[in-house]
Amino acid sequence: MKYTEALLLDELKSSHPIEVEVNNAQEVEEILDAVSYQKGSCVIRMLHDYMGASVSLFQAGLKVYFEKFKYSNARTEDLWAALETTGIVPMDEADRLSRVLCSSHSHTRRKLQHWC
């Protein structure tokens, strides 16, 4: 996915944060849309780039995450915990990144500028 396409979607009034509370199945269908997938893809690529030479560790962390939660639900902190098992991102840094990258769409263009 191209970052510019995600940015254009993120500028729409209908845009929303990636990380949102879901209370029922109907809300899942409403939330999982092009914005979620395109913005989510950008965030994963940003994390990948942020970790630089640790690409194999990043992939190992994702493998831990996918294996652990393949038949269950997961939360954002579960992804960070899986990445932390590889030693790439300390949990306090992961929490900061999560809050910066995932919570608000109002400044996404500035946040993604480095990766565009």
Specify the CATH number for the domain of residue 23: 1.10.390.10
Could you report the per-residue pLDDT of 71-90, keeping only the tens digit for each?
A: 998 888 888 888 888 876 66
* Residue with tokens 């194999």, as numbered in its chain: 56
Q: Which two tokens stand for residue 38?
A: 């395109």
Q: Which of the given ranges, 3-12, 21-30, 53-62, 95-104, has the highest pLDDT on average? A: 21-30
Rg of the chain in Å (alpha carbons): 14
* Residue with tokens 């899942």, as numbered in its chain: 28
- List the domain range (segments joined by +) for residue 111: 3-115
- Give the mean model confidence (pLDDT) for residues 38-58: 77
Determine contact, residues 42/114, Cβ cutoff 8 Å: no
Q: How many domains are contained in the chain? A: 1
Residues of the chain with pLDDT > 70: what percent?
Answer: 70
SS3 state of residue 75: coil
Q: Which two tokens stand for residue 27?
A: 């809300």
Q: Which two tokens stand for residue 79?
A: 């992804």
Could you report the per-residue pLDDT of 19-30, keeping only the tens digit for each?
A: 878 888 888 888
